[in-house]
Amino acid sequence: MIRGFSKSPTPSESLSVYNYMVQFGVPVDHFTYPFVLTTCARLGEVRLGRRFHCEVVRNDFDSDLFVVNALMQFYGSCGCFRDACQVFDESPVRDVVT
């Protein structure tokens, strides 16, 4: 649902689903954060995206290739190129997309 809403005309609904999951103790995984970050980028929510970046690090998903690429996409889409470069430089995993 988070993925679907993140690409819909109402992307903020994906954040509502995320908050609902967290509130009811549903664990997030490495599939969750890329789409939440996509929503933040679409909404221009840099502060909220940074908060999710902190959660990524806290939950040990900062070495997941899919999540790292999503973080770089988020920061690049928001014009935060220094942050995108920092994610790239600090990432232990890279591929052609990175």
| Any domain includes 67 | yes
Tally the domains of the chain. 1
Residue 74 lies in a domain: yes
Q: Is residue 97 part of a domain?
A: no
Other CB atoms within a 10 A radius of the CB of residue 4 amount to: 12
Residues 6 and 42: beta-carbon distance below 8 Å: yes
% of the chain exceeding 90 in pLDDT: 93
| CA pair distance 40, 6, nearest whole angstrom | 9
Give the number of other Cβ atoms within 10 Å of residue 1's Cβ.
13
What pLDDT, on the 0 to 100 scale, is given for residue 97? 85
Let me know if residue 98 belongs to a domain. Answer: no
pTM of the model: 0.91
Q: What pLDDT shows up at residue 98?
A: 83
Report yes or no on 96 lying in a domain.
no
**Does 44 fall in a domain?**
yes
The parent domain of residue 72 ranges over 2-90
Asked if residue 95 belongs to a domain, the reply is no
The single-letter code of the amino acid at 50 is R
